[in-house]
Amino acid sequence: MQPGFAFEIAATDGAARAGTLTTPHGSVPTPLFMPVATLASVKGVDIGRVRETGAGMVLSNAYHLHLRPGELLVEAAGGVAAFTGWNGPTLTDSGGYQVFSLARQVKVTEDGAFFRSHIDGSPVAFTPENSMRIQERIGADVAMQMDHVVALPGERRVVEDAMRRSLRWAERCREAHTRPDQALFGIVQGGLDAELRQESAERLQAIGFPGYAVGGLSVGEGAEAMVAALAVTTPHLPADRPRYLMGVGQPEDIMAAVAAGIDMFDCVLPTRCGRNSLVYTFAGQVRLRNARHAADPRPLEEGCPCVACRHSRSYIRHLFMAGEMLGPILASIHNLTFYQRLVARLRAAVVAGRLTETLGELRAGLAAPERAAGAS
């Protein structure tokens, strides 16, 4: 680890770990979930409310911030933490995922990825070298190597080619990265192929990074395949470095990944689902537009400390039905809080040595059917 960074494991339970990640902007317990602030904003939720959810670290995207407002403006503001008013640990994704998500507009060569901006159609070039320059200027505590993501399931030839290109790009990123107060994480690729995943993990360690991500999942392969890929990947990652599963996901996926030894997560689902009137609780999902909640006096979840749970389901449903913007805001805040409570419960279970029992309890609750008020 470089100066200002540390990762300490306090407890283990099987492959699962409970630890602390320390960065120049502070420390955060793991397992941790990062709300996604793609454009330096968690959709619909101001940064103060994000902190109230229990979040300790947030993620922004280098590609999107490069286009708007530009990394030079973010740098002039003191970096992304100061720019947003977060002033806590931050991470930037390199833009590699956009190679996948914007595939119709992208040409990938050995040099890098070449886009047409989704905003105005202007040409955008992302190479490992300028991805590092952009991320250094944005100034997050953790930067990600540029990698090549492909859809799954996919032909082995295509997956292998992307994995090997990602390794070559990892070497170029490592050489180009110069900022001493920013940790650069390598990204394991290899699709669903155990041999490719192992090779990627081992070769990334030979290059040497302060942290390692598992990338190229949650791109169409399904939950069971994702868990299987983790099972053949994490044993080949160093035990003394943080492990980050990118872009995942559903609560059940996070639970399985923690059991497999993953420490860090991010996903847009809490706010995306919140904007669409679906909220997560430990007693199952609640779809607020359902008529059963029209006169329901209960909060979204008993015992939840979030501001949304000071209101009734009836009221929040009314906000959605009336098209009031407060409805999606409150539902998003609740979902973000739920995710932080989930990883906190998983951490406590690892520390107590009862992860298996806790996973069973959580799965039973999350699978519960939605009930109306007064139902038994």
Q: What angle do CA 270, 212, 189 make, to 5 degrees?
A: 85
Run of H or E residues at 260: none
3 state SS of 278: strand
**10 Å Cβ neighbour count for 324?**
13
The DSSP bridge pattern shows strands 6-13 and 16-23 to be antiparallel
Per the CB < 8 A criterion, the answer to whether 189 and 148 are in contact is: yes
**31 prior amide bond cis, ω within 30:** yes
Task: Specify the long-range contacts of residues 163-168, CB closer than 8 Å, at least 24 apart.
Answer: 163/189, 163/190, 163/191, 163/196, 163/199, 163/200, 165/108, 165/110, 166/96, 166/200, 166/215, 167/200, 167/203, 167/204, 167/207, 168/110
In angstroms, what CA-CA distances link 352 with 245, 257, 306, 347, 357? Answer: 24, 18, 26, 9, 11
Active site residue: 13, 93, 141, 193, which one? 93
Active site residue: 13, 193, 263, 266, which one? 266
3 state SS of 359: helix
In angstroms, what CA-CA distances link 266 with 2, 122, 221, 272, 318? Answer: 23, 29, 18, 13, 30
Evaluate the CA torsion angle 244, 346, 363, 281 in order and state its sign: negative
Question: Is 141 one of the annotated active-site residues of the chain?
Answer: no
Question: Is 13 one of the annotated active-site residues of the chain?
Answer: no
3 state SS of 254: helix
Instruction: Give the helix ranges, DSSP H, for the chain.
Output: 47-52, 62-67, 71-76, 80-84, 96-101, 128-138, 156-176, 194-207, 223-231, 251-259, 269-275, 313-321, 326-352, 355-366
Evaluate the CA torsion angle 80, 133, 234, 19 in order and state its sign: negative
Catalytic residues: 93, 266
